[in-house]
Amino acid sequence: MRPLIVTTLTFLFATSQAIGQTEISGTTEIETDKIAFDTINLSPNKNFEKKAKIKPIDKVDGDIEIRFYKLNSLSNTNNLKIIRLKDNKWTAHEYNEWNRPMRIKKYSLNVQNGFQIFLKKLLQQNISSLPSQNELKDKMRKLFNESGRQGERQIIVNDGHHYTVELKFGESFRIYGFSNPETYANFYEDVVELKNYVAITNLFDQELSRK
């Protein structure tokens, strides 16, 4: 994956110029009023749900469900990791998609330090309240001034991985997405949300393992 860095120059000819919380199972506090809950399910993963025979996020029951999709843009295959709290019981599964031959394999997962700590780490990275990456356009700007010229440097990544977070707390659900977080976070180093994306991706990659 080789990102394209674009520099745009503008020549200057003149100068001058209340936090609510929901308690789940007596142990986990979730700041619900920070979450922009969705009313319509616009998940990009509906075809995968059908192939994997899982319900849409807005139709699942239980107290908590967090889905983390990783789409490989070159192979157009998905990897899905799910953690779920239902009837006071935590479970975690992975659905790994292959296209030659076409199949989806399901695995049970271990959580390195336990579900409670894992969920706490996710919440510390604002998993429940982050925007989609396309909502960060105003923040993802790298401006410069050189010798009377003002310009902007941009980065464009056309391949790599796209991620979708789908979560449901009680009866409310939310869906958002981002792509190639590490590349963008390194380029737009002042955008905190991009660093959150990187941390969430690392948590799902490093703290969940197949049984």
Domain parsing of the chain, residue ranges: 37-134+158-210
- Span 135-164, pLDDT tens digits: 999 999 888 887 777 888 888 887 789 999
The 10 Å Cβ neighbour count of residue 167 is 22
Report d(CA 40, CA 37) in Å as an integer.
9
The 10 Å Cβ neighbour count of residue 210 is 12
Which residue in 84, 33, 68, 83 sits closest to 177, CA to CA? Answer: 68
CB burial class (10 A; 0-12, 13-18, 19+) of residue 162?
Answer: middle
Contact 117, 172 (CB under 8 A): no
- Span 62-100, pLDDT tens digits: 999 999 999 998 899 999 999 999 999 999 999 999 988
pLDDT-above-90 percentage for the chain? 69
Please give the single-letter amino acid code of residue 51.
K
Report d(CA 82, CA 106) in Å as an integer.
11
* DSSP bridge partners of 85: 64, 90
SS3 80: strand
